[in-house]
Amino acid sequence: MFVCGVQTPTAMSIPLNPIALEAASSVRTLADAHAWIEQFSRPDGFNTHAWFTLKRLALTVWRCRFEHRPFPRTLNYLHPLFYEMIRTPEGVLLVPERTVRRPRD
């Protein structure tokens, strides 16, 4: 896409998991989501700044759920605990499983 003669990348977004929107969850507010995310401890040896960034990214996924809009980025090869942060406590992933790319074991 060109805007004013400057090439800009096309935006990618990830839809929310329809099941996550319909399923009841104990996380009902953004404050609940923040508390859910904060209960995860930074893994030993994991960079503090990177951990803060992952938690902020997870909160953005939750915000998108509450606002019923797609998450505006991709989620590729992040720390495994991140994917737990974007699950409800009941185990429902907020984004479709097929949109999450993880390294092969």
So what's the pLDDT on residue 15?
63
pLDDT at 7 over 60: no
Output 99 or 66, whichever has higher pLDDT. Answer: 66
Mean pLDDT throughout 33-42?
96
So what's the pLDDT on residue 24?
72
Q: What is the pLDDT of residues 63-92, one digit of tens each?
A: 999 998 888 877 777 888 998 999 999 988
How far is the CA of 74 from the CAs of 11, 18, 27, 33, 57, in angstroms? 10, 17, 23, 20, 11
